[in-house]
Amino acid sequence: MEQVKTLGEFIIDRQQDFPGSSGEFSRLLSAIRLASKIVSQQVNKAGLLSHIVGAAGSDNIQGEAQQKLDVYANDQFIKALAARKVVCGIASEENDAYIPINEEGSYIVAMDPLDGSSNIDVNVSIGTIFSIYRRVSPVGGPLSDADFLQKGTEQLAAGYVIYGSSTMLVYTTGNGVNGFTFDPGIGVFLLSHPNMQFPNNGKIYSMNEGNFYRSSKGVQEFIKYAQTVDPETNRPYTARYIGSLVADFHRNLIKGGIYMYPSTDTAPNGKLRLLYECNPLAFIAEQAGGSASDGKNRIMEIDPTDLHQRVPYFVGNSALVDKAEQCIKTNG
């Protein structure tokens, strides 16, 4: 029987993927592993720990009420990453500006420490999303905006943690996508989903259809296409929307499907943030044989202009993303 592999062993095995790295990158991934375990423990108790659950009484840059668990998760990831000395700066959904960490560090981390916050109090899966870049400014010197405003194609690694019926960490370093399930009994992540790939034919579409009439004609046409009865093309598709990006993305990665958060008349750039939500999941999607678009362009080719900029988002099976792009191209 094949030996079960822990995330720690996997990181060491794959260290040769980073020629020249003196194990710095492995230490960075290990920090994310540690913080994920700490956050997982609190998320799983959220229903019991009244002092954790519920609004923290402050708002983040998006003007969204910060849940205490958001703030807790943000603190844990920042602490764990800072302790490893290899990170020079962090961009987080919870912080207006980027956080300088250590000028001697070589790596930049962009993260959404706890996405899907609105689901915290109703016991629905939530997640952490992260993206890792090499800094562009000289090591030892001050950080610059350019260190953070890099295209998604420059990512060294990206991943997410889903705190659901079990806690899983899924990540890529550009050599495929691998998923690890946390075993709380022994406190380790075990390789459970090696070489994750989208199934060939996806038939799930995930969108807040309350935005149907606020969306473009093209998006409306795609939804109608998905709902049309046509057994030859395996339609109607199935509508599944949890309202937690990581959970919807993870289910669609395993079962096949598309997640959409298009622009609407009230949110012309959509809702999701390019740097720490769309780019990391786009990297994973492409490594798993799928694609990610803003409805017209490849997400990872977009030149960022702001830490918290939003973009319309279509991610999942390439055939479904292509179909959505075609509907938008044809109908506007």
What single letter denotes the amino acid at residue 328?
Answer: I
- Near ligand P6P by CB under 6 A: residue from 105, 116, 152, 280: 116
* C-beta of 96 vs 145, nearer to ligand P6P: 96
Tokens representing 250 are 């993870």
Please tell me whether residue 118 binds ligand P6P under the rule CB under 6 A: yes
**Are the beta carbons of 189 and 16 closer than 8 angstroms?**
no
Q: Per CB under 6 A, which of residues 263..322 are in contact with ligand P6P?
A: 271
Residue from 245, 282, 311, 324 in contact with ligand P6P (CB under 6 A):
245
Structure token digits, residue 78: 């920042």
Q: Check residue 244 for interaction with ligand P6P (CB under 6 A).
A: yes
Q: Indicate the helix (H) or strand (E) that contains 280.
A: helix 279-287
First and final C-alpha spacing in the chain: 54
DSSP H or E segment with residue 126? strand 126-134
- 113, 168 in Cβ contact below 8 A? no
Closest to ligand P6P by CB, 278 or 328: 278
115 is an interface residue for ligand P6P by CB under 6 A: yes
Q: Using the minimum distance from each CB to ligand P6P, give the nearer residue, 28 or 161.
A: 161
Distance CA 56, CA 209 (A): 30
262 or 304: CB nearest ligand P6P: 262
* Contacting range for ligand P6P; rule: CB under 6 A; set: 67-75, 83-91, 159-167, 241-249: 241-249
Please name the residues in contact with 264: beta carbons below 8 A apart, sequence gap of 6 or more.
211, 214, 215, 270
C-alpha span between 205 and 222 (Å, rounded): 10
Cβ of residue 246: shortest distance to ligand P6P, in angstroms? Answer: 7
User: Sign (positive/negative) of CA torsion 43, 128, 9, 288?
Assistant: positive
Rounded to the nearest whole angstrom, what is the least distance from the CB of residue 116 to ligand P6P in the complex? 4
Site string for ligand P6P, 184-223 (x = CB under 6 A): ------------------------x---------------
243 binds ligand P6P (CB under 6 A): yes
Residues binding ligand P6P (CB under 6 A)? 115-116, 118, 208, 243-245, 248, 271
